[in-house]
Structure 1
Amino acid sequence: MTAAISDIRADASAPTGTGRAAPGSGGPIPLDLGQRSRRLPLPTVARVLLGLMLFVFGLNGFLGFIPPPAVPERAAAFLEALTATGYMVPLIKGVEVAAGALLLANRFVPLALVLVAPNVVNIVLFHLVLAPGGATPFGAVVLGIELYLAWCERGAFSPLLDPRGARSTERAPRPGVTRA
């Protein structure tokens, strides 16, 4: 008991800012600055999740390691038409693999989101219009993650939404060009 009291007195006499205080004294909260939090921020989790989905399903378009589900007749006709072109499925799946790899590597994330946005819209509309039912929530999840990540990266997109672009009001003259 006397050891506990002497610990409290020693903690109470510690200078402010050390992170030590007597229990219930209202002093500073104990901090351990030597350890990092093991929790991942939500944007990182969302980025990795979307990257994995795009990368895996994109690779599946080339390698076929996940069997395709049964789809309604209209959806099957749409998929057959894409395949018949000879270039659309490789293009779509190639964009998914590239965007997924960029998201997983945490490189050029805004570019990856812009590249995959048309695919995400197509995924959502495909599941809503052509194949409603079981996989519709998947499209909603992909769209939700895409929009959340776009919101997290909104600073990178603000010049795209500026009607005048990112240019200044006055343009600097180009070297070697004279104005009349």
Structure 2
Amino acid sequence: MAYHAARLVLGIIFLIAGLNGFLVVFDIEPLIPTSPKAMALFQFNYLLVVEKSLEVICGLLLLINRFVPLALTVLTPITANIFLLHIFVDPSLLILAVIMVILQGYLLYHFRDKFKGLLEIR
């Protein structure tokens, strides 16, 4: 039960955040408020498009419960950057970043057997 809730909430967060990024690229008012300081870090739209595309794709993968370990692998550095950005640059959405880290940490723990091979010394 907790696995499904964490997966769905994290999927919704990334899907909405990804779609928000595309709306900002096209100068349309985003669905939810976007931090201007965070968006200012994207000087080139193609960087924004690549990251937001990954967020949308991985958010959808989490929502449909397919390739979840792969989606978590792709989203982990994105989540880490979001968390660090809100700690050091713009604390306005820090609580959301903390929630994302907790949810992602739980999901990574849930799939810990899938990731053990990455941490083996050969």
Residue 68 of structure 1, CA deviation: 3.5
Whose RCO is larger (CA < 8 A, sep 6+)?
A: 2
Larger Rg: 1
TM-score by length of 2: 0.87
Stretches of 4+ aligned residues off by more than 6 angstroms: none
Determine the C-alpha separation between the residues in 1 that align with 2:81 and 2:23: 21
TM-score by length of 1: 0.61
Quote the residue 1:173 is aligned against: none
Q: Would the alpha carbon gap of residues 85 and 53 (structure 1) be closer, same or farther in structure 2, given more than 3 Å must change? A: same
Quote the residue 1:113 is aligned against: 72
Determine the C-alpha separation between the residues in 2 that align with 1:151 and 1:129: 26
Root-mean-square deviation (CA), in Å?
1.6
Q: Could you tell me the percent identity over the aligned residues?
A: 35
Matches within 5 A, 1:72-91: 75=37, 79-82=39-42, 84-91=43-50
Determine the C-alpha separation between the residues in 1 that align with 2:104 and 2:35: 26
* 1:158 and 2:116 matched: yes
Residue 60 of structure 1, CA deviation: 1.4
Residue 90 of structure 1, CA deviation: 0.5
Matches within 5 A, 1:1-150: 41-64=1-24, 65-66=30-31, 68-69=33-34, 71=36, 75=37, 79-82=39-42, 84-132=43-91, 134-150=92-108
Quote the residue 1:25 is aligned against: none
Unaligned runs of 5+ in 2: 25-29
Q: Would the alpha carbon gap of residues 148 and 70 (structure 1) be closer, same or farther in structure 2, given more than 3 Å must change? A: closer
